[in-house]
Structure 1
C-alpha cells in the first residue's frame, strides 16, 4: 500500500514534474534560498585530510566566508584535526565523534571528505537529519552502500550534491557544447584513454587508495570523474560494462620493499622514492600525527597488501546505443588524456597533457616571440585544443579553448561558485551533479570491478534501483 506521508521534497518533485527531470538537471537549485539568507550558513566538515582542509576547507572560508562559516570539524585523528583547524583558519570546535559534532553544532550543511568507503555513513546520517550534504567524489564504493544513500536521500528534506569539478573545465565544457549542438551528428562510439604518470599514479598506491576495501579501486575512486564526464557528454545512462584489469606493476610485483620511504634501505635504487620531508604541509598534517591512527602517507608502493588494479580496460554500452572503449594506465611517463567522438558526420578529437602536443603549442608561440611580451606569449600557449574533421573533407577545424588560472582551467572555482555563491544560476549545460549523477558514475566503476572478478559483462540495472534511460536523468 502506498504511503500517505508526503515530505517537502516529494511535494517539490511532484510540483516540478513537468520540468523533465529538473531535480536531476539542476540539483543545486534547492540551495538558492538557503544561501540567500542574511545570516551565514552553518557548515560542518568531516574528514580533515589534504582534500578536506584545502579545497573544501581553506578555500571555502577564504572565498565564501561572507555567506558561510564552519561550525564544526571532525576527524578520527585528533592531531590532523587540530592542524586542519589551524590550516583552514576556522574558528570553531573540533570533534573526534561525528554524532557529537552534529548534535552540538546543528549545521545546515555537511561536507564529507573522509576515506571513500566511509562516505555513505556520513552522507546518510546528514540526510537523516534533513540537512544538505556535499560529498567529495566518489559518492561511495559499492552498490549496497549506493542503494542505502539513494534510499536515505529519497526520505530526506536535504539535498545531496557530488563535487564533480571536471565538468566545469572550459575544455570539457566546450566538448559538451559541441555534442549538444551535434557538431558531427549522432555520436555512435567513443575512444577514451586516461594516463596517470609515474608520480601522480604512484601516489595512489602509497596511500589508502591502494586498498580496495578503502577506495573501491581506482575504477571507483579516480575513474568516477571520467565516467561522470562520459555520462554528461553523451547525455545518456550506461547499461552494461565488460572490463579487464590486473595488478602487475605495483604491490608485490617488485624484488624489494620497505616500510615507508623515509626509512627505506632501498631509497638509493628505487626510482619511485619520494621524500615527504620536502613538503612541510604533509609533514605537519600526516607525519606528525602518525601516532594517533598509524596512517603512513609515504607508504611503500611495493607493499604486499596493495590489492587494486594498476591497468584497466572497459567496454561500456549506453542506453542511446553509444559504445565506449575506455582505459586507465597508472604508470605512464606523462599525465593526460585522449578522447575521440565518432559521429555519423565526422569525428571530434581532444586531448590534454600530451607532451608533443604541448611542445607544438610552445613552438607556435615562439614564431612570434620577437614582437611579443612574455605575458602575451604565455597567453598564446595557455589553451587546450579540439580538432574536428567532417566526413568527405580533407580539412580539419582547430578549436582553441582558453584556459583560465586556477584548478582545471578555472573549473574548480566555477564549481564552488555554483554551490556556494550562485546556486540558482542558469545551468543550460547541466554542470551541477546530484545524487543520480553520483550514483551512475560510480556504478560504471563498480560494474567494471564486478566484471573483472566474474569475467562476465555486468548490467547496471542489476546493481541498484536506478533504471538506465537513453536520456540522462529522464
Structure 2
C-alpha cells in the first residue's frame, strides 16, 4: 500500500475559512466598549471568561460587575482578573445597577438556566459556558424564555474552533468518501483529568447532570456540526464501576485522609497555589471542598459510557467515553459509501511520543497552551484504491488547539466576520448537544431507547441548515 503525504497549514486545508485567521478588513467595535458582567467566579469563570478577556480584549470589553454567592471568591476574582468593578451576591441588583450588554454565565451547570432566563427577562443577551443546562425541563424553560423575550444565548463551544475539527469539517463538506453512513467516536480521559471530575461537584448528577451532559456536550456538539443533522434517537449504556463506592477505603478529602500512601489518586491541593487561594481559603463561605475524596459514597454519575445515536439523515454514531485511561485523547472515523476518513488527537502511539499526562492535565486546568505539537493528521482511504492519503494539518497553538482564541475573537473582536462553516453556536446548538446527553442518561436509567422529541418541543431536522 502506497501513501501520499502532503502538508496543510492551519489555513491551508481550510482555505476560505476565515475563522482560522484574522480576516482582512473585519469590522471592529466602535469607541464604546461592550459592558459585560460575570456570574460564577470559579476557576473557569475567572480564567477563561475573566482574566483572558481582560488580557486580550480590554480595548473592546469592560467588566462592570461580578456576581457569586461566595464573597471570598468575589474579592479574589477582582484581584486575579485585574479589574476594579462592583461585586454582587444579588444578581438582579447587579443587572439593574450595571446595565450590561452581555451576561456571561459560568456557575454550576445546574444553575445555568436560572441566570440565562433571568438575563433574558431583564433584556440582556447571554453567553453561557457549556452545557447550556442539565435536564429537559430547564432546557424547555430556556427555549420558552428566548421566544418570549427575543434575547439570544451564545454557547461557548471552543472545540468547534480548534484547527483539527475545523479542517475535518471543511474536508467532510467536500464529500471525499461519498455519503457518510456511520461514525465511530471515542474519547479518553486520563487518570488525572478523569479523576478530577469525581473530586469536584461534577461527580454528583444533580449538579452536573453526569459527564454525558457536562463533558460530552462538547463531543455531541461537534458530532452534530460534522454530520450537519439532528439526533433523533439514543440508546445508551453506562455504569459507575471504578470511582465512588467502588473502593475499599475512603477519606474525608485528600487533605484529611489516612490513606495517602496507598491511594494512587491522592492529590495534594496544598501544592496548587491557585486552588488554595480560590477554593480552600473560601470554603468557610459555601462549604465547597475542591479536593473531595473520589471514592465518596455521594458520587452517582457514570464512569463508563457508551451510546448509539441515530440521526435524522440516517447516520448512526457509536460513541464512548472512558474516564480512567492511561492517556488523554480521542479518535473519530467517518464511514462513507466510497471509503473512510479517520483522525485522532493525543493518541501516544500515533506520534511515538511519551507524554506526561499529569502535566497535560495541569495545563488544561490552568487554561495554558498544552505544548508544541507539529501537526495533526487526517487519514483518507477509498474502498477500491490501493493508495491512501494522510493529510497533515499544522497544529493550532494555544488552548484547545487554537480554538480558545478563535472562539473569543469571534465573540468579542470580529462578531461580524464571515462564518462559512457555521462555527458560532447558539441556543439550538446548545440544546441539541445537551439533549443527547440527557436522552442517554434517561436511556440508561430506564433501559430503553429515548427519542429526542420526547424531551422538548424542538423538532429534529435531517439538515441543520434548515433549522431556525
TM-score, length basis structure 1: 0.88
Conservation of the 8 A alpha-carbon contact between 1:131 and 1:157: no
Quote the Cα distance in structure 1 between the aligned partners of 2:184 and 2:102.
Answer: 39
Q: Is there any run of 5+ residues in structure 2 with no aligned partner, and where?
A: 1-18, 20-25, 356-370
Conservation of the 8 A alpha-carbon contact between 1:74 and 1:81: yes
For these two proteins, the number of residue pairs brought into alignment is 427
Cα deviation for residue 159 of structure 1 reads 1.6
2:50 aligns with 57
Quote the Cα distance in structure 2 between the aligned partners of 1:218 and 1:289.
Answer: 26
1:455 aligns with 447
Quote the Cα distance in structure 1 between the aligned partners of 2:112 and 2:52.
Answer: 21
1:433 aligns with 2:428: no
Match of 1:173 among 166, 173, 177: 166
1:405 aligns with 397
Quote the Cα distance in structure 1 between the aligned partners of 2:270 and 2:354.
Answer: 35
Write the mapping of 1:61-210 to structure 2, written as runs, cut at 5 A: 61-210=54-203
Say which SS state the counterpart of residue 53 (structure 1) adopts: helix
Cα deviation for residue 473 of structure 1 reads 4.6
Conservation of the 8 A alpha-carbon contact between 2:348 and 2:354: no
Write the mapping of 1:323-362 to structure 2, written as runs, cut at 5 A: 323-359=316-352
Cα deviation for residue 263 of structure 1 reads 1.6
Quote the RMSD (CA, aligned, Å).
Answer: 1.6
Write the mapping of 1:178-327 to structure 2, written as runs, cut at 5 A: 178-327=171-320
Q: 1:361 to 1:266 in 2, by over 3 A?
A: closer
2:23 aligns with none
TM-score, length basis structure 2: 0.89
Quote the Cα distance in structure 2 between the aligned partners of 1:92 and 1:335.
Answer: 38
Match of 1:418 among 399, 407, 410: 410
Q: Is there any run of 5+ residues in structure 1 with no aligned partner, and where?
A: 1-25, 27-32, 363-377
Bigger helix fraction: 1
Runs ≥4 residues deviating over 4 A: none
Conservation of the 8 A alpha-carbon contact between 1:34 and 1:41: no
Quote the Cα distance in structure 2 between the aligned partners of 1:60 and 1:330.
Answer: 31
Quote the Cα distance in structure 1 between the aligned partners of 2:418 and 2:27.
Answer: 17
Cα deviation for residue 37 of structure 1 reads 3.5
Cα deviation for residue 186 of structure 1 reads 0.5
Say which SS state the counterpart of residue 232 (structure 2) adopts: strand
